[in-house]
């Protein structure tokens, strides 16, 4: 700290006069321009008035350029936001990143308000696989829908439900492709997987993230 202070004092002692001279010179130039403009205005001659009007127009033009650039930037931002919304609606900005947890077909699709995940009717698979590596965040046994296993990965949480058995407990490390548990059997004799994805604390449509065939 003392060394830094000493260096600053040394710098001011050696460079200080030059810095002050430069600041004084710039101040004098600016003051001279202002005095010149005031003097020309006081003359009230046609030539000086024309010159002053040109100076004023030039200043106004510079300000207009700044304002126009702000408007253009604002419009560009609005267009960018609109394009993101369009891409989101048509799912053009989000290529599938993860494999499907099981082979099957969508029995019940995602709905933001009424169904925050998807139900997959299994085509022979009895054990869903982890779509990404992570840590088991939660294992819940429900009254009538079996186990729900939540895996926390780097970018998303993925939830596997309707399991009659979980192969993991909270805190276990899961690798991509690991078997999560065993599917229970529904009243109709079929096996279903409840699958959800949570991103940034919000449930999202899993079909935007998994490559489902």
123-134 pLDDT, tens digit each? 999 999 999 999
Q: Tens digit of pLDDT for each residue in 181-190? A: 999 999 899 9
Of the spans 18-32, 47-61, 89-103, 143-157, which averages the highest pLDDT? 143-157
- How confident is residue 2, by pLDDT bands cut at 50, 70 and 90? very low
pLDDT for 211 equals 80
Which is more confidently placed, 164 or 38?
A: 164
The CA distances from residue 148 to 10, 40, 137, 163, 201, in Å, are 69, 83, 11, 7, 17
Same domain, 12 and 38: yes
* Interval 92-109: pLDDT, tens: 445 568 999 999 999 999
The residue segments making up the domain with residue 63 are 2-90
Give this prediction's pTM: 0.57
What pLDDT score does 112 carry? 82
- Residue 158 above 80 pLDDT? yes
11 with 65, same domain? yes
**Where among 90, 109, 140 does a domain terminate?**
90
Q: Of the residues 32, 63, 90, which one is the last residue of a structural domain?
A: 90
Select from 90, 114, 133 the last residue of a domain: 90
Domain count, the chain: 2
């Amino acid at each position: 700290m003392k060394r830094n202070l000493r260096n600053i004092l040394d710098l001011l002692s050696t460079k200080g006069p030059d810095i002050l001279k430069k600041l004084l010179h710039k101040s004098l130039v600016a003051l001279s321009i202002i005095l010149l403009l005031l003097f020309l205005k006081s003359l009230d001659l046609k030539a000086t008035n024309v010159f002053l009007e040109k100076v004023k127009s030039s200043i106004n033009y510079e300000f207009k350029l700044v304002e126009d650039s702000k408007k253009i930037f604002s419009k560009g931002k609005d267009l960018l936001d609109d394009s993101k919304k369009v891409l989101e609606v048509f799912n053009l900005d989000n290529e599938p990143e993860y494999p499907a947890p099981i082979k099957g077909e969508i029995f019940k699709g995602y709905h933001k308000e009424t169904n925050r995940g998807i139900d997959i009717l299994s085509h022979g698979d009895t054990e869903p696989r982890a779509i990404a590596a992570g840590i088991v965040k939660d294992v819940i046994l429900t009254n009538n829908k079996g186990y729900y296993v939540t895996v926390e990965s780097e970018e998303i949480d993925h939830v596997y439900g309707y399991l009659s058995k979980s192969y993991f407990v909270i805190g276990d490390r899961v690798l991509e492709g690991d078997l999560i548990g065993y599917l229970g059997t529904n009243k109709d004799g079929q096996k279903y997987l409840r699958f959800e994805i949570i991103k940034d604390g919000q449930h999202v449509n899993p079909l935007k993230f998994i490559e489902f065939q």
